[in-house]
Amino acid sequence: MSLSVEEGIMRIVNRVGSVFVLVVAGVVAGVVCSSPAFAQAWPSKPVRVIVPYAPSSGVAIATRLVTDELAKSLGQSFIHETKTGAGGAIASAFVATSPADGYTLLANSSSHSILQVLTPNVPYDTLRDFVGVTPLAELPLVMVIAKSKGIRSVQELVASAKAKPGSLTFASAGVGTSAHLGAEKFRIAAGIDVLHIPFKSTTDGVTEVFAGRVDYVYTAVASVQSMIKDGALIPLAMSSKRSASLPGVPTIEEAGVPGAGYSVWTGLMAPAKTPREVVLRLQQEIVKVLATTDLKERMLKVGAEPFTLTPDEFDALIKRELADNDKLVKAIGIRAQ
Protein backbone atom coordinates (compact mmCIF):
# COMPACT_ATOMS: atom_id res chain seq x y z
CA MET A 1 0.00 0.00 0.00
CA SER A 2 1.44 3.35 -1.02
CA LEU A 3 1.37 6.36 1.30
CA SER A 4 0.96 9.99 0.37
CA VAL A 5 3.74 12.36 1.31
CA GLU A 6 1.50 13.86 3.98
CA GLU A 7 0.74 10.43 5.52
CA GLY A 8 4.43 9.47 5.53
CA ILE A 9 5.40 12.67 7.29
CA MET A 10 2.69 12.16 9.94
CA ARG A 11 3.90 8.59 10.66
CA ILE A 12 7.45 9.85 11.12
CA VAL A 13 6.25 12.64 13.39
CA ASN A 14 4.25 10.17 15.49
CA ARG A 15 7.21 7.79 15.82
CA VAL A 16 9.59 10.58 16.75
CA GLY A 17 7.04 11.85 19.24
CA SER A 18 6.82 8.43 20.89
CA VAL A 19 10.59 8.18 21.16
CA PHE A 20 10.71 11.69 22.57
CA VAL A 21 8.17 10.76 25.24
CA LEU A 22 10.18 7.67 26.20
CA VAL A 23 13.41 9.65 26.38
CA VAL A 24 11.79 12.35 28.50
CA ALA A 25 10.29 9.70 30.78
CA GLY A 26 13.71 8.12 31.23
CA VAL A 27 15.32 11.45 32.01
CA VAL A 28 12.59 12.31 34.50
CA ALA A 29 13.00 8.92 36.18
CA GLY A 30 16.73 9.50 36.44
CA VAL A 31 16.20 12.93 37.95
CA VAL A 32 13.72 11.54 40.46
CA CYS A 33 16.08 8.71 41.47
CA SER A 34 18.93 11.14 42.04
CA SER A 35 16.87 13.80 43.77
CA PRO A 36 17.02 14.72 47.47
CA ALA A 37 13.45 13.43 47.76
CA PHE A 38 14.59 9.97 46.57
CA ALA A 39 17.42 10.02 49.10
CA GLN A 40 15.02 10.93 51.90
CA ALA A 41 12.75 8.04 50.89
CA TRP A 42 15.70 5.67 50.98
CA PRO A 43 15.68 3.03 52.35
CA SER A 44 12.16 1.87 51.56
CA LYS A 45 13.13 -1.82 51.75
CA PRO A 46 15.85 -3.93 53.43
CA VAL A 47 19.47 -3.21 52.48
CA ARG A 48 21.84 -6.08 51.64
CA VAL A 49 25.34 -5.90 53.08
CA ILE A 50 27.73 -8.28 51.31
CA VAL A 51 30.64 -9.40 53.51
CA PRO A 52 33.69 -11.23 52.07
CA TYR A 53 34.61 -12.77 55.44
CA ALA A 54 33.09 -15.17 57.95
CA PRO A 55 30.58 -13.84 60.53
CA SER A 56 33.24 -14.25 63.22
CA SER A 57 35.70 -11.94 61.43
CA GLY A 58 36.49 -8.46 62.70
CA VAL A 59 35.02 -6.89 59.56
CA ALA A 60 31.71 -8.73 59.98
CA ILE A 61 31.44 -8.05 63.71
CA ALA A 62 32.27 -4.34 63.50
CA THR A 63 29.99 -3.83 60.49
CA ARG A 64 27.07 -5.58 62.18
CA LEU A 65 27.40 -3.38 65.26
CA VAL A 66 27.05 -0.32 63.02
CA THR A 67 24.30 -1.64 60.74
CA ASP A 68 22.21 -2.77 63.72
CA GLU A 69 22.14 0.87 64.82
CA LEU A 70 21.46 2.07 61.27
CA ALA A 71 18.45 -0.25 61.14
CA LYS A 72 17.03 1.51 64.20
CA SER A 73 17.69 5.03 62.91
CA LEU A 74 16.55 4.39 59.32
CA GLY A 75 13.69 1.99 60.03
CA GLN A 76 14.84 -0.78 57.67
CA SER A 77 16.75 -4.03 58.13
CA PHE A 78 20.36 -4.37 57.00
CA ILE A 79 20.75 -8.01 55.98
CA HIS A 80 24.28 -9.42 56.02
CA GLU A 81 25.20 -11.98 53.37
CA THR A 82 28.52 -13.80 53.56
CA LYS A 83 30.33 -14.45 50.27
CA THR A 84 33.80 -15.71 51.10
CA GLY A 85 36.59 -16.81 48.82
CA ALA A 86 39.20 -15.49 46.38
CA GLY A 87 40.52 -13.03 48.96
CA GLY A 88 37.29 -11.03 48.80
CA ALA A 89 36.98 -10.91 45.00
CA ILE A 90 33.76 -12.95 44.91
CA ALA A 91 31.94 -10.51 47.19
CA SER A 92 33.40 -7.45 45.49
CA ALA A 93 32.49 -8.65 42.00
CA PHE A 94 28.94 -9.37 43.16
CA VAL A 95 28.48 -5.83 44.49
CA ALA A 96 30.21 -4.20 41.51
CA THR A 97 27.59 -5.71 39.19
CA SER A 98 24.59 -5.16 41.49
CA PRO A 99 21.98 -2.45 40.83
CA ALA A 100 23.32 0.95 41.90
CA ASP A 101 20.25 1.86 43.92
CA GLY A 102 21.59 1.97 47.47
CA TYR A 103 20.22 -1.44 48.40
CA THR A 104 23.42 -3.47 47.97
CA LEU A 105 26.56 -2.51 49.89
CA LEU A 106 30.01 -4.04 50.29
CA ALA A 107 31.55 -4.31 53.75
CA ASN A 108 35.28 -4.79 53.29
CA SER A 109 38.63 -4.16 54.91
CA SER A 110 41.82 -2.58 53.60
CA SER A 111 41.96 -5.66 51.37
CA HIS A 112 39.69 -3.67 49.05
CA SER A 113 42.76 -1.63 48.05
CA ILE A 114 45.05 -4.65 47.80
CA LEU A 115 43.44 -7.36 45.70
CA GLN A 116 43.56 -5.64 42.33
CA VAL A 117 47.29 -5.04 42.81
CA LEU A 118 47.81 -8.76 43.39
CA THR A 119 45.28 -10.00 40.88
CA PRO A 120 45.02 -7.63 37.90
CA ASN A 121 42.40 -9.83 36.21
CA VAL A 122 39.72 -9.50 38.91
CA PRO A 123 36.35 -8.87 37.19
CA TYR A 124 36.01 -5.30 38.44
CA ASP A 125 37.99 -2.08 38.83
CA THR A 126 38.45 -0.92 42.42
CA LEU A 127 38.29 2.78 41.56
CA ARG A 128 35.88 2.75 38.62
CA ASP A 129 33.25 0.30 39.88
CA PHE A 130 32.82 1.42 43.50
CA VAL A 131 32.17 4.56 45.49
CA GLY A 132 33.36 4.74 49.06
CA VAL A 133 30.71 5.57 51.67
CA THR A 134 32.93 5.81 54.75
CA PRO A 135 35.31 3.75 56.85
CA LEU A 136 33.62 2.44 60.00
CA ALA A 137 36.66 1.69 62.12
CA GLU A 138 40.34 1.01 62.29
CA LEU A 139 40.95 -2.65 63.08
CA PRO A 140 44.43 -3.19 64.48
CA LEU A 141 45.27 -6.84 63.91
CA VAL A 142 46.57 -9.00 66.74
CA MET A 143 49.19 -11.69 66.16
CA VAL A 144 48.25 -14.82 68.08
CA ILE A 145 49.83 -18.22 68.58
CA ALA A 146 48.57 -21.36 70.33
CA LYS A 147 49.54 -21.69 73.98
CA SER A 148 50.83 -25.19 73.23
CA LYS A 149 53.63 -23.75 71.05
CA GLY A 150 55.36 -22.38 74.13
CA ILE A 151 56.13 -19.02 72.52
CA ARG A 152 55.26 -15.96 74.62
CA SER A 153 56.72 -13.00 72.71
CA VAL A 154 57.51 -11.72 69.23
CA GLN A 155 61.21 -12.03 69.93
CA GLU A 156 60.79 -15.70 70.84
CA LEU A 157 58.85 -16.24 67.61
CA VAL A 158 61.58 -14.55 65.57
CA ALA A 159 64.27 -16.57 67.32
CA SER A 160 62.40 -19.82 66.63
CA ALA A 161 61.95 -18.91 62.97
CA LYS A 162 65.63 -18.05 62.55
CA ALA A 163 66.71 -21.25 64.27
CA LYS A 164 64.76 -23.35 61.78
CA PRO A 165 64.24 -21.36 58.55
CA GLY A 166 61.10 -22.37 56.65
CA SER A 167 59.68 -24.44 59.48
CA LEU A 168 57.12 -21.99 60.89
CA THR A 169 53.80 -21.26 59.20
CA PHE A 170 51.25 -18.46 59.36
CA ALA A 171 47.61 -18.37 58.32
CA SER A 172 45.43 -15.80 56.56
CA ALA A 173 41.97 -15.57 55.00
CA GLY A 174 43.57 -15.62 51.55
CA VAL A 175 46.33 -14.20 49.38
CA GLY A 176 46.12 -10.42 49.30
CA THR A 177 44.04 -9.94 52.43
CA SER A 178 45.11 -7.33 54.96
CA ALA A 179 46.15 -10.03 57.41
CA HIS A 180 48.32 -11.62 54.73
CA LEU A 181 50.15 -8.42 53.79
CA GLY A 182 50.53 -7.41 57.43
CA ALA A 183 52.16 -10.76 58.18
CA GLU A 184 54.35 -10.52 55.08
CA LYS A 185 55.51 -7.05 56.12
CA PHE A 186 56.44 -8.49 59.52
CA ARG A 187 58.30 -11.36 57.83
CA ILE A 188 60.40 -8.97 55.74
CA ALA A 189 61.09 -6.57 58.62
CA ALA A 190 62.06 -9.41 60.97
CA GLY A 191 64.22 -11.12 58.33
CA ILE A 192 62.66 -14.54 58.80
CA ASP A 193 61.73 -17.37 56.43
CA VAL A 194 58.19 -18.60 57.18
CA LEU A 195 55.49 -20.26 55.06
CA HIS A 196 52.12 -18.67 54.27
CA ILE A 197 49.09 -20.97 54.46
CA PRO A 198 46.02 -19.23 52.97
CA PHE A 199 42.52 -20.32 53.97
CA LYS A 200 39.04 -19.54 52.67
CA SER A 201 38.08 -17.60 55.80
CA THR A 202 39.44 -16.05 58.97
CA THR A 203 37.61 -18.69 61.00
CA ASP A 204 39.39 -21.52 59.17
CA GLY A 205 42.79 -19.94 59.76
CA VAL A 206 42.17 -19.27 63.44
CA THR A 207 40.88 -22.83 63.91
CA GLU A 208 44.08 -24.26 62.45
CA VAL A 209 46.23 -22.05 64.70
CA PHE A 210 44.15 -23.01 67.73
CA ALA A 211 44.63 -26.68 66.84
CA GLY A 212 48.39 -26.17 66.47
CA ARG A 213 48.52 -27.24 62.84
CA VAL A 214 49.55 -23.70 61.78
CA ASP A 215 51.82 -21.63 64.00
CA TYR A 216 50.42 -18.10 64.07
CA VAL A 217 47.98 -15.69 62.47
CA TYR A 218 47.34 -11.96 62.26
CA THR A 219 43.63 -11.39 62.78
CA ALA A 220 41.09 -8.92 64.15
CA VAL A 221 40.78 -8.87 67.93
CA ALA A 222 37.07 -9.72 67.79
CA SER A 223 37.67 -13.06 66.09
CA VAL A 224 39.98 -14.38 68.83
CA GLN A 225 39.06 -12.38 71.94
CA SER A 226 37.32 -15.26 73.72
CA MET A 227 40.21 -17.66 73.03
CA ILE A 228 42.69 -15.10 74.34
CA LYS A 229 40.59 -14.67 77.47
CA ASP A 230 40.47 -18.44 77.96
CA GLY A 231 44.24 -18.65 77.56
CA ALA A 232 44.08 -20.93 74.52
CA LEU A 233 45.75 -18.32 72.29
CA ILE A 234 48.62 -16.02 73.27
CA PRO A 235 48.55 -12.45 71.89
CA LEU A 236 52.05 -11.45 70.81
CA ALA A 237 51.60 -8.01 69.21
CA MET A 238 49.25 -5.54 67.53
CA SER A 239 49.83 -4.67 63.87
CA SER A 240 49.69 -0.88 64.12
CA LYS A 241 48.37 0.53 67.40
CA ARG A 242 47.50 -0.72 70.85
CA SER A 243 43.94 -1.93 71.30
CA ALA A 244 41.65 -0.66 74.07
CA SER A 245 40.45 -4.25 74.50
CA LEU A 246 44.02 -5.62 74.84
CA PRO A 247 45.88 -2.69 76.42
CA GLY A 248 48.79 -4.80 77.63
CA VAL A 249 49.71 -6.12 74.18
CA PRO A 250 52.50 -4.08 72.51
CA THR A 251 52.54 -2.99 68.88
CA ILE A 252 54.73 -5.03 66.55
CA GLU A 253 57.27 -2.20 66.49
CA GLU A 254 57.24 -1.86 70.28
CA ALA A 255 57.87 -5.61 70.37
CA GLY A 256 61.19 -5.04 68.62
CA VAL A 257 60.49 -5.21 64.88
CA PRO A 258 60.82 -1.69 63.42
CA GLY A 259 59.18 -1.12 60.05
CA ALA A 260 56.67 -3.94 60.54
CA GLY A 261 53.62 -1.82 61.36
CA TYR A 262 50.53 -2.26 59.16
CA SER A 263 47.25 -0.35 59.43
CA VAL A 264 43.85 -1.89 58.66
CA TRP A 265 40.35 -0.42 58.38
CA THR A 266 36.86 -1.70 57.68
CA GLY A 267 34.32 0.31 55.71
CA LEU A 268 31.30 0.38 53.42
CA MET A 269 31.36 0.75 49.64
CA ALA A 270 28.54 0.90 47.08
CA PRO A 271 28.30 0.35 43.30
CA ALA A 272 29.81 3.35 41.52
CA LYS A 273 26.61 4.83 40.10
CA THR A 274 24.68 4.77 43.37
CA PRO A 275 22.85 8.13 43.67
CA ARG A 276 25.15 10.63 45.36
CA GLU A 277 22.40 11.79 47.69
CA VAL A 278 21.93 8.23 48.99
CA VAL A 279 25.68 7.80 49.55
CA LEU A 280 25.81 11.09 51.46
CA ARG A 281 22.75 10.28 53.55
CA LEU A 282 24.15 6.87 54.50
CA GLN A 283 27.52 8.41 55.42
CA GLN A 284 25.84 11.04 57.58
CA GLU A 285 23.75 8.42 59.39
CA ILE A 286 26.87 6.34 60.07
CA VAL A 287 28.66 9.37 61.53
CA LYS A 288 25.66 9.96 63.80
CA VAL A 289 25.43 6.42 65.16
CA LEU A 290 29.21 6.16 65.66
CA ALA A 291 29.09 9.35 67.72
CA THR A 292 26.94 7.68 70.39
CA THR A 293 28.80 6.66 73.53
CA ASP A 294 27.15 3.24 73.70
CA LEU A 295 28.21 2.17 70.19
CA LYS A 296 31.71 3.58 70.66
CA GLU A 297 32.16 1.46 73.78
CA ARG A 298 30.85 -1.68 72.09
CA MET A 299 33.14 -1.11 69.11
CA LEU A 300 36.18 -0.67 71.34
CA LYS A 301 35.38 -3.88 73.23
CA VAL A 302 35.81 -5.87 70.01
CA GLY A 303 39.01 -4.06 69.02
CA ALA A 304 37.42 -1.65 66.52
CA GLU A 305 38.38 2.03 66.79
CA PRO A 306 35.57 4.19 65.27
CA PHE A 307 36.84 6.06 62.22
CA THR A 308 34.90 7.95 59.52
CA LEU A 309 35.63 10.03 56.41
CA THR A 310 33.53 11.78 53.79
CA PRO A 311 32.91 9.76 50.59
CA ASP A 312 35.45 11.90 48.70
CA GLU A 313 38.05 11.46 51.44
CA PHE A 314 37.44 7.71 51.52
CA ASP A 315 37.83 7.41 47.74
CA ALA A 316 41.08 9.38 47.98
CA LEU A 317 42.34 7.07 50.75
CA ILE A 318 41.62 3.99 48.66
CA LYS A 319 43.39 5.53 45.67
CA ARG A 320 46.50 6.28 47.78
CA GLU A 321 46.47 2.80 49.28
CA LEU A 322 46.33 1.19 45.84
CA ALA A 323 49.56 2.98 44.94
CA ASP A 324 51.18 2.19 48.30
CA ASN A 325 50.17 -1.48 48.15
CA ASP A 326 51.55 -1.80 44.65
CA LYS A 327 54.95 -0.80 46.05
CA LEU A 328 54.54 -3.11 49.07
CA VAL A 329 53.61 -6.12 46.96
CA LYS A 330 56.66 -5.61 44.76
CA ALA A 331 58.90 -5.22 47.82
CA ILE A 332 57.49 -8.36 49.41
CA GLY A 333 57.81 -10.30 46.18
CA ILE A 334 54.29 -11.71 46.01
CA ARG A 335 53.47 -12.75 42.48
CA ALA A 336 50.29 -11.55 40.81
CA GLN A 337 47.76 -14.35 40.53
Residue 328 has a pLDDT of 84
Residues 94 and 158 occupy one common structural domain: no
Residue 39 has a pLDDT of 65
Spatial separation of the C-alpha atoms in residues 312 and 141, rounded to whole Å: 26
Residues 126 and 271 occupy one common structural domain: yes
Residues 156 and 204 occupy one common structural domain: yes
Confidence of residue 10 (pLDDT cuts 50, 70, 90): very low
Residue 324 belongs to domain with CATH number: 3.40.190.150
Spatial separation of the C-alpha atoms in residues 235 and 245, rounded to whole Å: 12
Q: What is the mean pLDDT of residues 152-171?
A: 98
Confidence of residue 8 (pLDDT cuts 50, 70, 90): very low
Q: Count how many residues are written for the chain.
A: 337
Residues 227 and 81 occupy one common structural domain: no
Residue 3 has a pLDDT of 43
Average pLDDT of the residues of the chain: 88
Confidence of residue 87 (pLDDT cuts 50, 70, 90): confident
Is 163 exposed, middle or buried (CB count within 10 Å of its CB: 0-12, 13-18, 19+)?
exposed
Confidence check: pLDDT of 212 > 50: yes
Confidence of residue 36 (pLDDT cuts 50, 70, 90): low
Residue 269 has a pLDDT of 98
Confidence check: pLDDT of 1 > 70: no
CA atoms 249, 114, 104, 28: torsion sign? positive
Range of lowest pLDDT (209-218, 312-321, 328-337): 328-337
Confidence check: pLDDT of 16 > 60: no
- pLDDT tens per residue, range 122-155: 999 999 999 999 999 998 899 999 999 999 999 9
Q: What's the structural domain count of the chain? A: 2
Q: Is residue 30 part of a domain?
A: no
Spatial separation of the C-alpha atoms in residues 65 and 302, rounded to whole Å: 10
Q: What is the mean pLDDT of residues 42-65?
A: 94
Confidence check: pLDDT of 181 > 60: yes
183 lies in which domain range?
141-238
Q: Is residue 21 part of a domain?
A: no
Q: What is the mean pLDDT of residues 84-89?
A: 84
SS (H, E, C) 268-326: EEEECCCCHHHHHHHHHHHHHHHCCHHHHHHHHHCCCEECCCCHHHHHHHHHHHHHHHH
Q: Is residue 253 part of a domain?
A: no
Q: Is residue 247 part of a domain?
A: no
Element (H, E) at 63: helix 58-74
Residues 148 and 125 occupy one common structural domain: no
Confidence check: pLDDT of 34 > 60: no
Q: What is the mean pLDDT of residues 38-46?
A: 86
Q: Is residue 29 part of a domain?
A: no
Q: What is the mean pLDDT of residues 102-121?
A: 91
pTM of the prediction? 0.75
Residue 6 has a pLDDT of 41
Q: What is the mean pLDDT of residues 64-90?
A: 94
Spatial separation of the C-alpha atoms in residues 240 and 253, rounded to whole Å: 8
Confidence of residue 35 (pLDDT cuts 50, 70, 90): low
Spatial separation of the C-alpha atoms in residues 185 and 162, rounded to whole Å: 16
Q: What percent of the chain has pLDDT over 70?
A: 88
